[in-house]
Structure 1
Amino acid sequence: MSGPATPEGWLETVVVPRTSDIGGFEVRRALPSVRKRMVGPFVFLDQMGPAVLKAGHGIDVRPHPHIGLATVTYLFDGEILHRDSLGTVLPIRPGEVNWMTAGRGIAHSERSAADERGRDRLLSGIQSWVALPHTHEETDPGFVHLSADELPVVEGEGKRLRVVAGEAYGVRAPTPLLWDTLYVDAVLKAGARLPVDCVTEERALYIADGTVTIFGDRFEAGRLLVLRPGEPATVEAETDARLILLGGAVMDGPRHIWWNFVSSSQDRIEQAKADWKAGKFDTVPGETEFIPLPEK
């Protein structure tokens, strides 16, 4: 049990994401950062958009590989068509989750579907990666899609909380996990208060939209607030706001990250590089393109 939080004690660090523009589509990368490499199993966190994709245009992320992680796609707005080397072909929409376990190796693509390209539409969301425990880094690849109706929601007092993974606020998501993991999408009306208890070892709050205060300190959108272990906090929404609460148990050792590969072994990453370059990954049915191995 921890005592009451104090203004001096609750915050470990603040990460300001790196922002890049990909063809008019803004991406903010909060993890990994020089200030914080991982939060629980989360080794990668991107906020996509929001961006308006004009009619006739879309996103086209060609097939690319992963090892040693699970990719987690969660949308606020829009739709993305997922294809992978297991033969999965499935659109993801707001409030749903795609949990793709790479394990020993998988390839996938993410595109705008043909029927989506005929009109202007908004696209925004969060893409994250969770590292796999040592015992499962070479597990068989897999894919799980959960609809918005399958993810538990807690509402009241100006809050709408969807638990995407793990257990929080009295409910548990059915998302299959290999490590203690927490992921909550919190939508707050101005003036609403969100308690963030010590439900897991490491926790962070990513402010996707709006402005919040914690112990009188004001934080704007596009900030990752890493909470000090064992210290609860309460978020108050200064404006309408949207936050992602994420975390989990401390990972069982550091991870190497290179391009789309995550592993506890640098040698394993070198092998994955060689395998992708040599065409040894399974291909994605219906795709004729791929992203080549970066030169460096």
Structure 2
Amino acid sequence: MTMRDTDRRGEHGRGSTDGEGAVEMLLQPQERDLGGFSVRRLLPSAKRTMVGPWIFFDHIGPADFPPGEGITVRPHPHINLATVTYLFEGEILHPDSLGSLQPIVPGDINLMVAGRGIVHSERERPEVTGTAHRLHGLQLWLALPEADEETEPAFHHYPGSDIPMCTVDGVPLRVMMGSAFGLTSPVRTFADTLYVEAHLKAGQCLALPEAPERALYVVSGALRLGGRPLPEHSMAILSPTASVAMEADSDSRVALIGGEPLGKRFIDWNFVSSRKERIDQARADWRAKRYPLVPGDEKEFIPLPD
């Protein structure tokens, strides 16, 4: 997915402590139109740029497409980051400049490591666009540690059957990345990273694993944290020291993200880096068409925003 050039930078700071010490701040999404469908963007925001290594958080849809229409994100570049795509409904076809061609379906995780530079597009197979269909999911970006920013680009696909799951206090959950609840995900990480999905019935509670930085996003439903209500589509930035449990006011689906902070990052369009001059170079390279092409998707591209 792409990021609009106007969404470049925010301040990474802490807000006032509230919610009985559990919630530092509450983020509301910014609606973005990506052409034919909308996303809710939580990170980066004016209040908070990153949570641990996570620097980008988009909730895609739900978007309903009639026959003949669907997602068509033209080829575009990334550097010094990794994208993490996870769907609740629908399918996305991932082609990239490494020659990857991978459909992602609900439950799978696509991890694309941009490193020193990669180009990809997001399409749908004719079998999908030929019928009415829905697309719904999350797409996140991880900033890479400085030592790994210029790593070789790579693509990893993890089928849903490889993602560990368990039930804790009656709550089914999946450990998407990192380690929590006695489980460890096979998804590659570069820093201390946490990503957990849970489904709670109304009235259920779940104690959250600790991490240096954490945020809880309500995909659907409504929760309480430390006595503070968390409405649907809000993201709570959590205190790093608070032992906290969430309680569901209604049937809810949530995503917990977190991990170790990596320090300041610059973000400009689809580029993330610890060095502003590296982003300037990436922009110049895209303008000059020095990036590799996506096999089978060579004719179109997204122009560099002014």
Q: TM-score range by the shorter chain?
A: over 0.9
* Conserved? CA contact 2:181–2:209, under 8 Å: no
Counterpart of 2:226 in structure 1 is: 215
Distance in 1 (alpha carbons) for counterparts of 2:126 and 2:98: 22
Distance in 1 (alpha carbons) for counterparts of 2:280 and 2:146: 17
Cα root mean square deviation, aligned = 1.4
Output the TM-score relative to the length of structure 1: 0.95
Alignment of 1:237 with 2:248, yes or no, is yes
Shift of 1:11: 1.0
Give per-residue Cα distances to partners, 1:72-103, cap 9 Å, x unaligned. 10111110000000000000011110000000
Task: Tell me the SS of whatever aligns to 2:285.
Answer: helix
Note the residue ranges of structure 2 that are not aligned, 5 or more in a row.
1-17
Shift of 1:154: 1.0
Counterpart of 1:145 in structure 2 is: 157
Shift of 1:218: 1.6
Distance in 2 (alpha carbons) for counterparts of 1:8 and 1:155: 27
Counterpart of 1:281 in structure 2 is: 291
Counterpart of 2:238 in structure 1 is: 227
Aligned ranges 1:237-256 → 2 under 5 Å? 237-251=248-262, 253-256=263-266
Output the TM-score relative to the length of structure 2: 0.92
Give per-residue Cα distances to partners, 1:35-57, cap 9 Å, x unaligned. 11100000000000011111110
Indicate the larger mover: 177-186 or 215-224.
215-224
- Matched to 2:248, the amino acid is A
Counterpart of 2:4 in structure 1 is: none
Counterpart of 2:15 in structure 1 is: none
Pair 1:156–1:202, CA change in 2 (3 A): closer
Task: Tell me the SS of whatever aligns to 1:73.
Answer: strand
Shift of 1:197: 2.9
Give per-residue Cα distances to partners, 1:114-152, cap 9 Å, x unaligned. 110111112111001000000011110001110000000
Counterpart of 1:267 in structure 2 is: 277
Distance in 1 (alpha carbons) for counterparts of 2:133 and 2:202: 26
Distance in 2 (alpha carbons) for counterparts of 1:292 and 1:246: 32
- Matched to 1:214, the amino acid is L
Distance in 1 (alpha carbons) for counterparts of 2:288 and 2:85: 28
Shift of 1:214: 1.8
Pair 1:181–1:282, CA change in 2 (3 A): same
Distance in 1 (alpha carbons) for counterparts of 2:191 and 2:291: 26
Task: Count residues in correspondence.
Answer: 289
- Matched to 1:135, the amino acid is A
Counterpart of 2:120 in structure 1 is: 108
Shift of 1:201: 0.6
Task: Tell me the SS of whatever aligns to 2:242.
Answer: coil
Distance in 2 (alpha carbons) for counterparts of 1:232 and 1:48: 30
Distance in 2 (alpha carbons) for counterparts of 1:225 and 1:183: 15
Distance in 2 (alpha carbons) for counterparts of 1:250 and 1:156: 28
* Conserved? CA contact 1:31–1:43, under 8 Å: yes
Indicate the larger mover: 155-164 or 259-268.
155-164
Distance in 2 (alpha carbons) for counterparts of 1:21 and 1:7: 32
Distance in 2 (alpha carbons) for counterparts of 1:58 and 1:25: 9
Aligned ranges 1:41-80 → 2 under 5 Å? 41-80=53-92
Distance in 1 (alpha carbons) for counterparts of 2:40 and 2:155: 25
Counterpart of 1:189 in structure 2 is: 201
Shift of 1:156: 5.0
Aligned ranges 1:68-217 → 2 under 5 Å? 68-155=80-167, 157-198=169-210, 200-217=211-228
* Conserved? CA contact 1:254–1:264, under 8 Å: yes
Note the residue ranges of structure 1 that are not aligned, 5 or more in a row.
1-5
* Conserved? CA contact 2:22–2:225, under 8 Å: no
Task: Tell me the SS of whatever aligns to 1:247.
Answer: strand
- Matched to 1:133, the amino acid is P
* Conserved? CA contact 1:197–1:231, under 8 Å: no
Pair 1:173–1:222, CA change in 2 (3 A): same
Shift of 1:244: 0.6
Counterpart of 1:3 in structure 2 is: none
Which has more strand, going by share of residues?
Answer: 1
- Matched to 1:148, the amino acid is G
Counterpart of 2:51 in structure 1 is: 39
Give per-residue Cα distances to partners, 1:176-224, cap 9 Å, x unaligned. 11111000111112222111132x2100001111111123322211111
